[in-house]
Amino acid sequence: MDNLTGNGMVLPRLGLGTYRMQGDACRKAVETALELGYRHIDTAEMYGNEDAVGAALATTSVPRSEIKVTSKVWYTNLAPDAMRRAHEGTLTKLGTDYVDLYLIHWPGPDMNLPQALETLMKIREEGGAKAIGVANFTVALLKQTIEDVKAPIACNQVEYHVLLGQDTLRNYMREHGLALTAYCPLAQGRLAEHRALDEIGRKHNVSAAQVALAWLLNHDGVAAIPKAGRIESQKANLEALKLRLDAEDMAAIATLPKKQRCVSPGFAPHWD
Q: Which CA distances in Å does 167 have to 40, 47, 178, 185, 254?
A: 25, 28, 14, 15, 12
Contacts of 203 (CB under 8 A, 6+ apart): 249
Work out the burial of residue 24: count CB atoms within 10 Å of its CB; fewer than 13 is exposed, 13-18 middle, 19 or more buried: exposed
Strand partners, 14: 224
Low-confidence stretches of the chain (pLDDT < 50) are: none
Q: Comparing C-alpha atoms, which of 241, 240, 238 is closest to residue 36?
A: 238
Helix (H, G, I), strand (E, B) or coil at 240: helix
Amino acid at 12: P
Q: What is the pLDDT at residue 2?
A: 92
Q: What is the pLDDT at residue 1?
A: 82
pTM score: 0.97
Give the other-Cβ count within 10 Å of 118's Cβ. 15
Q: Comparing C-alpha atoms, which of 19, 14, 4 is closest to residue 236?
A: 14
Q: Give the E-state strand segments of the chain in sequence order.
A: 3-6, 9-12, 16-17, 40-42, 68-73, 99-104, 129-135, 155-159, 179-183, 222-224
Q: Give the E-state strand segments of 105-144 in sequence order.
A: 129-135
Q: 53 with 69: CB under 8 angstroms?
A: yes
Helix (H, G, I), strand (E, B) or coil at 260: coil
State pLDDT tens for residues 58-93.
Answer: 999 999 999 999 999 999 999 999 999 999 999 999
Q: 215 with 251: CB under 8 angstroms?
A: no
Q: Which residues of 192-214 are buried (b: 16+ CB within 10 A; e: fewer)?
A: bebebbbebbeebebbbbbbbbb
- Taking the C-alpha atoms of residue 162 and residue 180, their distance in angstroms, rounded to an integer, is 15
Q: What is the pLDDT at residue 260?
A: 95
Q: What is the pLDDT at residue 136?
A: 98
Q: Is 38 a catalytic residue?
A: no
Which of 38, 47, 75, 183 is an active site residue?
Answer: 47
Strand partners, 71: 102
